[in-house]
Amino acid sequence: MSLEALYAQLTACRACPRLVVWREQVGREKRAAFRHTPYWAKPVPGFGDPKARILIFGLAPGAHGSNRTGRPFTGDASGDFLYPALYQAGLANQPTSSHLDDGLALEGVYITAAVRCAPPKNKPTPLELRTCAGWTAQELALLPHLRVYLALGQIAHQALLAYHGLPRAHHPFRHGGEYRVGERVLLSSYHVSRQNTQTGKLTRPMFEAILERAKALAEIG
């Protein structure tokens, strides 16, 4: 299967009733209020370089970010923090990500998330995480060059541990944490959410240092 074929199957997924209702409700309400702003309101496929050595693994689409635009970390404050940092690190061709046809391209990096539909209050249930893990397995199987996982936040960190069948107790989440998982390295960061970046829990220098470490582990010059 190709990534494109996977995306076609993924965007038709309706396996989690609560998430389907929420993502589509948000889309309908905002379309009614802002007729000039169409909403994606479907599962959000991954985005980036098919030959990526670094996987950036988030939590889930934002209701008015990825759920609106159809691209991970696009159209909200999280993306406004993430993409300039990727550009500065030489991993993106431009510092902005606003919509699907804005010309953005990533080099050496691929971005996806533990859950592909926007969850209410940004909190997927354990069942929803387990259900979406099937998509994770298929997606990662199509990215054979990966060397480093960069997990954004504890839930993403734990989802990647589950993918590899590793116990949480032996691999606790912490910013800058680094673990060997099979032939790859799991590197973790605080999430790039507004809650973390506007309070100073995650600063731009902190995240730049994480990206440089990911590049070094992935042997990206």
Query: What is the Cα–Cα distance from 114 to 136, expressed in whole angstroms?
Result: 7
pLDDT of residue 36: 65
CATH number of the domain that residue 121 is part of: 3.40.470.10
pLDDT tens, residue by residue, 111-130: 999 999 999 999 999 999 99
Q: How many domains does the chain have?
A: 1
- Asked if residue 130 lies in contact with residue 36, where contact means CB atoms within 8 angstroms, the answer is no
pLDDT of residue 31: 62
- Cα angle 208, 219, 134 (rounded to 5 degrees) comes to 80
Has residue 34 got a pLDDT over 70? Answer: no
- Cα angle 190, 194, 196 (rounded to 5 degrees) comes to 35
pTM here? 0.96
Q: Is 61 helix (H, G, I), strand (E, B) or coil?
A: coil
**Confidence tier at 35 by pLDDT (50, 70, 90):** low
Domain that holds residue 124: 3-218
pLDDT tens, residue by residue, 137-196: 999 999 999 999 999 999 999 999 999 999 999 999 999 999 999 899 999 999 999 999
- In terms of pLDDT, which residue wins out, 37 or 118? 118
